Amino acid sequence: MTPDTALVPPGTPAPDRRAVVRTSPLAPGSAADPLWYKDAVVYQLHVRTFADGNGDGIGDFAGLIARLGYIRRLGANAIWLLPFYESPLKDDGYDIAHYERIDPRYGTMDDFKRFLAEAHRLGLQVFTELIINHTSTAHPWFQASRRAPVGSPKRNYYVWSDSDRRYLGARVIFNDIEPSNWTWDPVAKAYYWHRFFHHQPDLNFDNPRVRRAVFKVMRFWLDLGVDGLRLDAIAHLYEREGTSCENLPETHEFLRAIRTEMDRRYAHRVLLAEVDQPPPIARTYFGAGAGDECHMAFQFPLMPRLFLALKREDAGPIVSIVKETDHLPESAQWAIFLRNHDELTISALTPEDRQLMFDLYAPEPRMRLNLGIRRRMAPLLDNDPSRMALAFSLLLSLPGSPVIYYGDEIGMGDNIWLNDRDGVRTPMQWTGTAGAGFSESDQPLTLPVIDDLIYGASTVNVEQQESDPSSMLWRVRRMVAARARSQAFGRGTIDFLTVTCGSVLACLRCYRDDTLLIIANLASTPQRCELMLPAEIADRTAHSLFNDDAVASAALAALSLAPFEFRWYRLVRPMAAPSSTSPASVQNSI
Ligand code: BGC
């Protein structure tokens, strides 16, 4: 692709990012620190299923606003909203019918503005979705395109073909449902291209009008004051014969144009890439060494390996992938997650590891979907509180900014019998009442509340866990609070330490003068092992970040760990150490 002259005049130098920070005024509510996203703890939710404010059985902005305090009390400082734009909801809102309108089921634009102002007032930065790879077939652009003359700019908003035998190198992503990336349109009398569902035609990024229209959408939401944009399905923007139609140079060039535009006009805003690709490719979305594309990208390579490691009780898969995905450009950050609104995708694993994941985590065929597993975290981890707390400990202590999927903090379950991925998108369980405190409607809810004996709302709900200091909710809160005590979690380097047991992970996280020691036993059995501590920290005192306990670092060279035990320490230099340096065992009180 030649540089998009309509967007960036030729010869325009890449902006000096420090200068941009000085010249672009901060919008009200924007974070003061340009690297705020490195300290973010993000709470991901769907307006539709979080809280229903008007009693119609569908979650809405009014309900969400009323629950923002809960998210803040969890310790999150950012929210990621799943799509809330006008949509036929055939793909839960990822099928957009109008980019600049709120779906009326969730409220009005004024409600959205109130939400944004209130979130900012509480110190929550807001990520929304920029879904530009495709629209819904219901979008007016598609309706105009299918009727427009062949070769006209309107027709060329989408990718049309007389044959469905083009771009055969591109995989079919939703391969359980879609037989092909082409669908015949009887109105246009041609095939249109789609990487996802057939009702989601891909926009044609070779058309400069499309690129301009996408910039306008981006500016619309940034002008309103959103802090971050999740770039959905961003690897698939262009099509070229003889390629996989993923990660093409043209896509990266377009991302650089987006980043330039963002930096030019908006201070301290963030692009978050959704790219489910192997490590060497995933990291290219930060920009080739220059950090000139996305600020953040989801850590897809790590996520399934966390689950592999937990089930195999072996730290190896985590250590190797974290090493492989380390050393990012200065401004880049992984968004690390355990589960999200999609199936747990295993496409980036080897065929053997994929099979293992299916065998271990999806024994019933209905649990599988496409190349993934449609289950939530708690059922995946057998609803075992110790293993769930350990999983959260890894999420919150490995490099990156953690993203917590709503409901996982209370151990919500799933319903694999619902359509598509709806089983992991059920209403938030606030109370043990019939509508789970999500809605007071006596009509069927937007999705049914989980009602089984183990995970049903009467057993698993916020209200009950609030009153129990040993609940998962409180354990997660305490971990998030401990994380907030050190920027080394979000910004520090990582160095793995040699341990004599394969099931024990130990690492140092360092940022400026702050050094943390993180230890986790992935095994279901007690472990006694030796930890090789570097000489320079041997004289330090290890202070637990969870309580007031302190122990001489040297005493940690011989470790005794309970099943699934984890510890987070700050290593304090001798001068600053308080008097208690007893080598007594430090119990993890999380
Ligand atoms: C979203 C999915 C969605 C797909 C198509 C994804 O990457 O996370 O939920 O179905 O994009 O829009």
Query: By alpha-carbon position, which residue is closest to atom 9 of ligand 1?
Result: 342
Cα of 539 vs centre of ligand 1, distance in Å, is: 50
- Same-domain check for residues 326 and 471: yes
Would the pLDDT of 292 be above 60? Answer: yes
Work out the pLDDT band at 4, boundaries 50, 70, 90. Answer: very low
- Same-domain check for residues 504 and 383: no
**Tokens standing for 238?**
């262009």
| Burial class, 385, CB count within 10 angstroms (exposed 0-12 / middle 13-18 / buried 19+) | middle
Query: By alpha-carbon position, which residue is closest to atom 12 of ligand 1?
Result: 94
Q: Is residue 24 assigned to a domain?
A: no
Q: Is residue 586 assigned to a domain?
A: no
23-78 confidence digits (pLDDT tens): 467 888 888 999 999 999 999 999 999 999 999 999 999 999 999 999 999 999 99
pLDDT at 589: 57
- Same-domain check for residues 282 and 404: yes
Of 82-96, 382-396, 572-586, the range with the lowest mean pLDDT is: 572-586
pLDDT at 576: 53
pLDDT at 89: 97
505-558 confidence digits (pLDDT tens): 999 999 999 999 999 999 999 999 999 999 999 899 999 999 989 999 999 999
Where among 483, 510, 539 does a domain terminate? 483
Q: Which residue type sits at 515?
A: T
Told to judge if 353 belongs to the known catalytic residues of this protein, a careful annotator would answer: no
The number of domains in the chain is 3
Report the mean per-residue pLDDT for the chain.
93
165: domain range?
140-193
pLDDT at 590: 67
Cα of 272 vs centre of ligand 1, distance in Å, is: 14
- Same-domain check for residues 465 and 518: no
Rounded average pLDDT over 291-316: 96
Vertex 195 angle, CA 194 and 196, to 5°: 95
Rounded Cα distance, 41 and 430, in Å = 21
Rounded average pLDDT over 365-379: 96
Q: Which residue type sits at 579?
A: S
pLDDT at 587: 43
Q: Which of 202, 274, 414, 565 is catalytic?
A: 274
229-244 confidence digits (pLDDT tens): 999 999 999 999 999 9
- Same-domain check for residues 329 and 473: yes
Q: Is residue 420 assigned to a domain?
A: yes
Q: Which residue type sits at 584?
A: A
Q: Is residue 100 assigned to a domain?
A: yes
Q: Is residue 198 assigned to a domain?
A: no
221-277 confidence digits (pLDDT tens): 999 999 999 999 999 999 999 999 999 999 999 999 999 999 999 999 999 999 999
* Ligand 1 within 6 A of CB of 91: yes
Q: Is residue 583 assigned to a domain?
A: no
Q: Percentage of the chain surpassing pLDDT 90?
A: 89
Tell me how far CA of residue 4 lies from CA of 15, 38, 209, 221, 335, in angstroms: 16, 31, 10, 22, 29
407-459 confidence digits (pLDDT tens): 999 999 999 999 999 999 999 999 999 999 999 999 999 999 999 999 999 99
Told to judge if 232 belongs to the known catalytic residues of this protein, a careful annotator would answer: yes
Rounded Cα distance, 573 and 445, in Å = 56
Contact 91, 82 (CB under 8 A): no
Residue to probe by mutation, ligand 1, list 45, 90, 91, most atoms within 8 Å of CB: 91
Contact 210, 164 (CB under 8 A): no
Would the pLDDT of 383 be above 60? Answer: yes
Helix (H) or strand (E) holding 354: helix 351-361
CATH number at residue 51: 3.20.20.80
Rounded Cα distance, 484 and 448, in Å = 35
How many other CB atoms are found less than 10 A from the CB of residue 271?
Answer: 25
Atom of ligand 1 nearest to the CA of 195: 5
Of 204-208, 309-313, 322-326, 572-576, the range with the lowest mean pLDDT is: 572-576
Residue to probe by mutation, ligand 1, list 232, 237, 337, most atoms within 8 Å of CB: 232
Cα of 23 vs centre of ligand 1, distance in Å, is: 35
- Same-domain check for residues 131 and 257: yes
The three-class DSSP label of residue 165 is coil
- Same-domain check for residues 413 and 477: yes
**Tokens standing for 296?**
């953040």
532: Cβ–Cβ under 8 A, 6 or more apart, which residues? 497, 498, 499, 557
Rounded Cα distance, 83 and 105, in Å = 12
- Same-domain check for residues 274 and 147: no
Rounded average pLDDT over 146-161: 98
* Ligand 1 within 6 A of CB of 274: yes
Atom of ligand 1 nearest to the CA of 131: 12
* Ligand 1 within 6 A of CB of 232: yes
Q: Is residue 19 assigned to a domain?
A: no
Contact 190, 202 (CB under 8 A): no
Residue to probe by mutation, ligand 1, list 196, 303, 341, 370, most atoms within 8 Å of CB: 196
